[in-house]
A = this chain, B = another copy of it.
């Protein structure tokens, strides 16, 4: 367990799996494609979830829970939706010892079940908007498992809102992708491009899809969250109308938006290094691990007295800590183990440190080592956490900028792609062009960023005049 992980440069994919398994974030379930989220990994998810949930509530949303069983007939009501999702569904055919009259699909996403409920709840403009979110498990059949990134069952949240006007729905869709940007950048220290998906990449049933896209340590892109403007598609499929202020029956406008446990995979690949995980303090289960070091019992007693004083202060100051005083493992083993687990800070206290009245504080991110007087230690840590948080963000941003290539023609595009990274281009191509590029290079348009350089140029692929910058990359 303590042997370390494969180097990123040797095999990035193996490095990833090593980190997930050895840092005890997750494990494989017995059914192919399924994942067990272990306590350490789940606590990271809880921190992400808590931050997201608070932001959802601050923006006026409430939580609810809808059933996971979707009647087969519902799945088929929205044409693009069924085409996109039905082939990857798990299907329940038996229940309570009997064959069912109608098969039940386990939700791959909940638009259909939720809009069948909204039909009952919405009569007039007074019932709008509905701003509901749910935290739930969903199932999409996967043959090639990648823990956190691609599993048959995963955990996520899905917001489903209903509005009286197209404008309101559009404002909501944009608001939520901005919430996701904040979640990624301010909590996970993971810089993202925010933009719109091309038609080829948008959600099955959406008018358009906004997304956040992050760069991973292997320079590939990860779609980390999406927010869909569904227009009136689901309202029409489920016949959900409302009496407007002008006394007309109109179809309701919809949005949906989600992030999933995939974010944990993004976190690992955004910050991890050859020693394992590196966690931003805001989503770390522990901010600091305290490792008391002793040989003689009298030393242990003196050290643990100091540890007790410190942890009391930590509690008061909201510093999350773990004391690893397991006598069966050596300090060196513990150092490696907790580096693997990405705890932002390690505090060592041995007999000499007690004598000298200080603690040893080691940063996971830059490997610095400082001797800090006891009395100052908790304040020092409290002040250091936001610095580490920001440092990780800046480092990841620098990495992304260094690996973003601006090209003007398809040859340079292919050359740049071989180096890896994001490719920034003027783009005026069609869905068919995208398809051709993907076939030849495996790269796709990750998004048309909201943030555009002014001006116009020439499409790198079609040679047509273009007024939009697009980000291409190979992706997870």
Contacts and interface: CB of A to CB of B under 8 A. Distances in A.
A309 interface: no
A87 B91 contact: no
A467 to B, nearest CB: 41
Interface string A80-122: 0000000111111111110000011010000001001100110
A71 B31 contact: yes
A74 to B, nearest CB: 7
A153 B88 contact: no
Contacts of A66: 29, 36-37
Nearest to A29: B67
A90 B103 CA distance: 11
A225 to B, nearest CB: 20
Contact of A27 (B94, B120, B143): B120
A324 B69 CA distance: 35
Do most interface residues of chain A lie in helix, strand or loop, or is the interface mixed? Answer: mixed
How many copies of this chain?
Answer: 2
A65 B91 contact: no
Contact of A96 (B120, B143, B155): B143
A264 to B, nearest CB: 11
A126 B328 contact: yes
A113 B43 contact: no
Nearest to A151: B67
Contact of A62 (B30, B42, B96): B42
A369 to B, nearest CB: 30
A27 B119 CA distance: 13
Contacts of A126: 328
A116 B43 contact: no
A222 to B, nearest CB: 21
Interface residues on A, range: 35 or more
A475 interface: no
B91 A34 contact: no
Contacts of A153: 67-69
Nearest to A98: B141
Contacts of A113: 29-30
Contact of A92 (B62, B90, B116): B90
Contacts of A30: 67, 71, 74, 113, 116
A65 B43 contact: no
A90 B97 contact: no
B92 A65 contact: no
A39 interface: yes
A132 interface: yes
A64 interface: yes
Interface in A185-212: none
A38 interface: yes
Contacts of A69: 29, 31, 34, 90, 152-153
B39 A63 contact: yes
The 5 A-B residue pairs with the shortest CB-CB distance in the complex, in nearest-first order: A96-B141, A34-B67, A39-B62, A29-B67, A91-B94
Given A36-B65, A96-B142, 7 more contacts: A30-B74, A31-B69, A43-B63, A68-B153, A69-B90, A91-B92, A91-B93
19 contacts: A29-B67, A29-B113, A31-B67, A34-B67, A37-B64, A37-B66, A42-B65, A45-B65, A46-B63, A65-B155, A87-B96, A89-B95, A90-B96, A95-B141, A95-B152, A97-B141, A106-B106, A136-B137, A137-B137
